[in-house]
Each structure stands twice: as structure tokens, then as C-alpha cells.
């Protein structure tokens, strides 16, 4: 699904990712943890193709294609979903229009017929229900005046509707309360189907009480320094990041 090899990347001339490797198979849920400043969000931004992030070395293979060469819109169309840490507002464009267009662009990519307005509405209503958003959210401007929790729910609704093949969620700094945490966990768990893969980025172990990851990676100083199963997250919760040593653990 996704194979990252020896990835080096910088932003504003600052070398942040320093030889990162990651191999994600279909259906797997990978949690990425690590101290503040480790490069977790940078990894998400690189994969999404955000401007200003420069890759100097390494490769990213997504379903047999060079992800780093793909246009940003193509990444989404080909099944990559990145739930942004701070979702953008698009005033004047309704959630409904925005999502219908996005969903149909993805369907076109997969060679499927576009959904009619009625078909889409039916799916959108179901998705609203699933993330506990009132139906009038479909008519509101994208993220316009949404509270933190509502943005989070909206993001999960987008994920459900888009049916991506690889979802990347960065929950590191989003200060999720227990309700929002449950929404995220339910969203991920309900979309796990043995084929779809997830990268869940999180600073704390708490979220992983609700999402059982197949693999846990500790990212520090721009690379994966330790990998394990779900028990590694529990270890980190107990011991913190002290095992990383002084240089990497100062903010843990
Ligand atoms: P994490 O998500 O693991 O907390 P980030 O990926 O946000 O870490 O940041 C990694 C490092 O890169 C940090 O030291 C951060 O200060 C630095 N960094 C991130 N964005 C920029 C930027 N635009 N300009 C300069 N430094 C940056
Ligand atoms: Mg951070
Ligand atoms: Mg971050």
C-alpha cells in the first residue's frame, strides 16, 4: 500500500526527516507516536504534498506509483486521505457541494459512475448520523464557524464518504476531549475492512485505548527509532519517551 524508504525532508532549510522508513500493507493500522518536534506532522504534510516541504532523498511508493511525483489532487483521487490538523474553512461552498464533487471525482478515478444528487444525499445523511452531526451541517459552509469537535466530526464524515484506501490522521496536537476521541476512534474502527489502511499519528497513548493498532512506531529526531505491536504504546504511556535519551526526550 505505502512504502517509504530513506525519506529525508526539510522545511525552511531545516532538515526534519532524516532517513525515515515505513512499510504499510493493505488493511493495517499503524500508529506513529513520538515526542514533540519529532517530525510526525511533517511526515503527514510530505505525504499530502503540502507546499514548502522539500524532499531531498528517498522514495514513497503508493500502490505501485511514485507518490512524490503525483499532483496533490491526484493523491486524493487515488485514495489518499489526510485529515488535516487544522481544517480549512471554505465560506460560501456548502459541505454538501464540496463533498459531492470530491466523492464523484474519486469515483471517476475508480471508473465508477457519479452519484446522483439523491444517491449522494442518502449516503451523506448516513455519514452524518454515524459521526453524530445534525443534518443541517450538510448545508453549512465547509468548516465555517464549526467548533473544534464539529470540525473533527466533519473530517470523519469526509473520510467515510470518500472511502479512501489510505487514511492519515494527525491527532497529535488537536487536544481531543473524550467525546471527540470516541468519534475519531469509531470513525476509524467502522472503516477498518481488511483492505483500507490507516496511519494514526498521536502524541499520547490515550487514543490507542480505542483504536487497536497492528503496529506502533516511535518517531524521534526524524526517523523511526522503534517499532512494535500495540504493547509498545502502553510502554510509552508508562515510561514516557525517556528511553530515547536526552536529545530526543526533552519535550516528552
Ligand atoms: P511533531 O508533529 O512531531 O511535533 P513537526 O513535524 O511539527 O513535529 O515538526 C518537526 C520539527 O520541524 C520541529 O522542530 C519544528 O519546529 C520544525 N518545523 C516544522 N515546521 C517548520 C517550519 N515551517 N519552519 C521551520 N521549522 C519547522
Ligand atoms: Mg508538535
Ligand atoms: Mg504534530
Closest CA to 72 of 101, 50, 57: 50
The whole-chain average pLDDT of the chain stands at 89
Q: Is the CB–ligand 1 distance for residue 26 below 6 Å?
A: no
Distance 149 CA to ligand 3 centre (A): 18
Cell numbers at 25, concatenated: 500493507
Closest CA to ligand 1's atom 21? 11
CA-to-CA separations, 199 to 4, 22, 27, 111, in angstroms, rounded: 13, 10, 11, 26
Report the CATH superfamily, name and number, of domain 2-249. P-loop containing nucleotide triphosphate hydrolases (3.40.50.300)
Average pLDDT on 212-223 reads 96
Q: Is the CB–ligand 1 distance for residue 12 below 6 Å?
A: yes
Per-residue pLDDT tens digits for 28-65: 999 999 998 999 999 999 998 888 999 999 999 999 99
Q: Which atom of ligand 1 is nearest to the CA of 219?
A: 3
Per-residue pLDDT tens digits for 62-104: 999 999 999 888 888 889 998 764 467 777 889 899 899 989 9
Sequence ranges of the domains in the chain: 2-249
Q: Is the CB–ligand 1 distance for residue 38 below 6 Å?
A: yes
- Is the per-residue pLDDT at 1 higher than 70? yes
Amino acid at each position: 500500500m505505502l512504502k517509504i524508504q530513506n525519506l529525508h525532508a526539510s522545511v525552511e532549510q531545516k532538515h526534519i526527516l532524516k532517513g525515515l522508513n515505513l512499510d504499510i500493507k493493505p488493511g493495517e493500522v499503524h500508529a506513529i507516536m513520538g515526542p514533540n518536534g519529532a517530525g510526525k506532522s511533517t511526515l503527514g504534510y510530505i505525504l499530502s504534498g503540502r507546499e514548502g516541504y522539500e524532499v531531498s532523498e528517498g522514495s514513497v511508493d503508493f500502490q505501485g506509483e511514485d507518490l512524490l511525483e503525483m499532483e496533490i489532487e491526484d493523491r486524493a483521487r487515488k485514495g489518499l486521505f489526510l485529515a488535516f490538523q487544522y481544517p480549512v474553512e471554505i465560506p460560501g461552498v456548502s459541505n454538501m457541494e464540496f463533498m459531492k464533487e470530491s466523492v464523484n471525482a474519486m469515483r471517476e478515478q475508480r471508473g465508477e459512475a457519479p452519484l446522483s444528487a439523491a444517491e449522494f444525499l442518502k449516503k451523506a445523511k448516513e455519514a452524518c448520523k454515524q459521526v453524530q452531526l445534525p443534518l443541517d451541517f450538510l448545508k453549512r459552509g465547509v468548516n465555517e464557524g464549526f467548533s473544534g469537535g464539529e470540525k473533527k466530526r466533519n473530517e470523519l464524515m469526509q473520510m467515510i464518504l470518500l472511502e479512501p484506501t489510505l487514511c492519515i490522521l494527525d491527532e497529535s496536537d488537536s487536544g481531543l476531549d473524550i467525546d471527540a476521541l470516541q468519534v475519531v476512534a469509531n470513525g476509524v474502527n467502522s472503516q477498518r475492512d481488511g483492505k483500507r489502511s490507516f496511519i494514526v499519528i498521536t502524541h499520547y497513548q490515550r487514543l490507542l485505548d480505542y483504536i487497536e493498532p497492528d503496529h506502533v512506531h516511535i518517531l524521534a529526531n526524524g526517523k523511526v527509532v522503534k517499532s512494535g505491536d500495540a504493547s509498545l504504546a502502553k510502554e510509552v504511556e508508562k515510561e514516557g519517551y525517556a528511553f530515547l535519551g536526552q536529545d530526543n526526550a526533552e519535550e516528552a
